[in-house]
């Protein structure tokens, strides 16, 4: 199969042979109507068994792709590749085959209850009217024209009108739709941010009313939606809706707690929730990476628990980078983040004050070197976060701070070039330290190596082999005196 139209042709042929009517529904149809190209996730509703249809399709296309079966739900996923005219790498198409069904969550259980249904019932049990439109698969075998859409679109709930009005509305009573699957409350917020749609007022109230139901949804699925929110052009749109509906209190109370301004003797601190949302938007202007944007959302969560008013000093948040890191481990556990992502975000939270601190305290070579070595691969991301953290409302101050920040970045780049500090390690390696000092592997070798590294970072010696060896000769006796007998060769 060379194109998505050919894929639809095959599905249509199998449908005729098996006497099963097949409809393409949901996001694929929505995106055609929105003129958004490139959606390669195709949802097919089969009036009959989705799983059996997928098996027949797999046989008919001679197992060209891979079939993943979900017998408990009578659905299957088919993944195949088609050529990409714009690149050597093929395009992956993911087709979900499902029998027409009505699916809902029981009051308490996390497992959905699935029952067979007609196409109309199936569409009624979907999340939003804009996602509840369908086209018979035969009509997608050629480019879909506006006339086809006008005459053939199955649109029982006026999804097309809502799409034109940029409105997210539920096909049924919103309490039913959201209670059927509480993840949809997050999807509403995400679509609003992603597509720039508003949520119909009744649905918005219902999201607020049903917010606690999100508790039955797994951490992984919440994580996925949050990440999709982070991928939008201006993540603060979805984040603000999360806050307004109080979904944020349910899924990220640590972030919600940042809301508010306190005043003591006329001294106010800034609203840290508003600040955090601004930081995420600022990062989004500099980087596409949703994980870095998420780190921006969490960077100040330690502020609530460390806030203190000190007379003559003002509001302080001492140690919030440490408390923030600790709190974040709790979030990571709930959202089931991988270890790699957890370490990445925790590191950015821990060190986020560093670049701005450098700017304020003077940019010395040794401080810059320490930052470079501490951050390693995450240095560029920390610098993006640090720049995004400049949110002062005073325009002159902002220009000045951003300019200073860019100076800092230039200084780091210069020093990196000069020192060749990436992958930093003592140029005198452990093996050589051992043979020169006649030591076996042990703590003393480590101490000597660290002392050489510290001297380089402090600018006492350059990052070069000869200098490191000379320094070693100078300091070695002091360390050898402390070595235990078992370390000596
Ligand atoms: N759907 C639903 N309720 C959900 C998830 C999905 O009703 N909690 C329905 C919607 O009709 C949706 C379709 O299943 O359009 C496909 O779901 P999915 O692929 O997750 O979403 P898309 O709408 O395609 O959008 P995206 O890929 O951006 O999530």
What value does the mean pLDDT of the chain take? 91
If one residue of 24, 39, 43 were mutated to test the ligand 1 pocket, choosing by the most ligand atoms within 8 A of its CB, it would be 43
Lining ligand 1 with CB less than 6 A are 26-27, 41, 43, 126-127, 131-132, 181, 183-184, 187
What residues does 136 pair with on adjacent strands? 23
pLDDT in tens, 196-216: 999 999 999 999 999 999 999
pLDDT in tens, 226-256: 999 999 999 999 999 999 999 999 999 999 9
Q: pLDDT value at position 32?
A: 93
Q: Residue 200: which of 133, 131, 128, 126 has the closest Cα?
A: 128
The pLDDT of residue 336 is above 90? yes
Least confident of 109-118, 163-172, 276-285, 392-401: 109-118
CA 27 to ligand 1 center in whole angstroms: 6
Q: Which residue has the tokens 């502020």?
A: 303
The Cα 176–Cα 210 span in angstroms is: 10
The Cα 348–Cα 331 span in angstroms is: 15
Q: pLDDT value at position 306?
A: 92
The pLDDT of residue 395 is above 90? no
- Contact between 271 and 263 under an 8 Å Cβ cutoff? The reply is no
CA dihedral 381, 383, 385, 389 (to 10 degrees): 180
CB burial of 218-239 (b: ≥16 within 10 Å; e: otherwise) equals eeebbbebbbbbbbbeebbbbb
The pLDDT of residue 340 is above 60? yes
Question: 103 to each of 29, 418, 489, how far by Cα in Å?
Answer: 21, 62, 72
Give mean pLDDT, residues 328-338: 98
- Contact between 95 and 77 under an 8 Å Cβ cutoff? The reply is yes
The pLDDT of residue 352 is above 60? yes
Structure tokens at 174: 């919103």
pLDDT in tens, 41-88: 999 999 999 999 999 999 999 989 999 999 988 899 999 999 988 888
Q: pLDDT value at position 489?
A: 77
The pLDDT of residue 177 is above 80? yes
Query: Given the CA of residue 181, which atom of ligand 1 is nearest to it?
Result: 8
Sorted by sequence, the CB contacts under 8 Å of residue 391 that are 6+ apart come out as 275, 278, 279, 282
The Cα 95–Cα 38 span in angstroms is: 14
The Cα 28–Cα 34 span in angstroms is: 10
Q: Which residue has the tokens 């085959």?
A: 97
Region of 266 (left: φ > 0; alpha: ψ -120 to 50; beta: rest) is left
pLDDT in tens, 284-301: 999 999 999 999 999 999
């Amino acid at each position: 199969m060379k194109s998505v139209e050919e894929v639809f042709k095959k599905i249509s042929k199998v449908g005729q042979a098996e006497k099963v009517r097949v409809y393409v529904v949901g996001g694929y149809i929505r995106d055609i109507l929105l003129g958004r190209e490139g959606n390669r996730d195709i949802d097919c509703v089969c009036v009959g068994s989705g799983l059996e249809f997928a098996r027949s399709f797999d046989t008919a296309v001679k197992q060209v792709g891979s079939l993943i079966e979900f017998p408990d739900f009578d659905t299957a996923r088919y993944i195949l590749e088609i050529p990409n005219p714009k690149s050597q790498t093929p395009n992956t198409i993911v087709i979900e085959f499902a029998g027409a069904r009505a699916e809902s969550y029981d009051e308490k259980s996390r497992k959905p209850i699935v029952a067979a249904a007609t196409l109309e019932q199936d569409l009624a049990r979907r999340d939003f009217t804009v996602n509840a439109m369908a086209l018979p698969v035969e009509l997608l075998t050629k480019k879909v024209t506006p006339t086809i859409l006008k005459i053939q679109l199955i649109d029982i709930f006026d999804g097309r009108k809502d799409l034109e009005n940029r409105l997210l509305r539920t096909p049924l009573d919103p309490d039913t739709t959201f209670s059927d699957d509480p993840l949809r409350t997050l999807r509403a917020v995400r679509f609003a941010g992603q597509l720039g749609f508003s949520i119909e007022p009744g649905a918005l109230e219902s999201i607020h009313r049903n917010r606690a139901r999100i508790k039955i949804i797994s951490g992984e699925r919440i994580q996925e939606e949050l990440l999709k929110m982070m991928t939008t052009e201006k993540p603060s749109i979805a984040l603000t809706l999360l806050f307004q509906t109080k979904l944020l209190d349910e899924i990220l109370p640590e972030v919600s707690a940042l809301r508010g301004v306190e005043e003591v003797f006329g001294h106010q601190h800034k609203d840290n929730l508003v600040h955090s949302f601004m930081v995420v938007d600022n990062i989004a202007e500099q980087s596409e990476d949703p994980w870095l944007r998420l780190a921006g959302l969490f960077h100040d969560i330690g502020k609530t628990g460390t806030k203190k008013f000190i007379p003559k000093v003002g509001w302080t948040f001492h140690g919030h980078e440490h408390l923030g890191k600790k709190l974040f481990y709790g979030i990571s556990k709930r959202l089931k983040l991988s270890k790699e992502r957890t370490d990445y975000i925790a590191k950015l939270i821990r060190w986020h004050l560093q670049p701005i601190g450098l700017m304020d305290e003077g940019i010395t070579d040794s401080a810059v070197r320490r930052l470079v070595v501490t951050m390693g691969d995450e240095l560029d991301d920390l610098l993006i976060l640090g720049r995004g953290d400049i949110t002062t409302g005073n325009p002159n101050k902002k220009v000045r701070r951003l300019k200073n920040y860019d100076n800092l970045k230039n200084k780091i780049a210069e020093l990196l070039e000069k020192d060749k500090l990436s992958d930093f390690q003592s140029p005198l390696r452990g093996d050589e330290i051992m043979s020169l000092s006649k030591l076996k592997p042990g703590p003393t070798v480590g101490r000597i190596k660290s002392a050489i590294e510290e001297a380089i970072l402090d600018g006492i010696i350059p990052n070069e082999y000869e200098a490191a060896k000379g320094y070693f000769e100078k300091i070695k006796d002091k360390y050898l005196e402390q070595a235990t007998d078992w370390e000596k060769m």
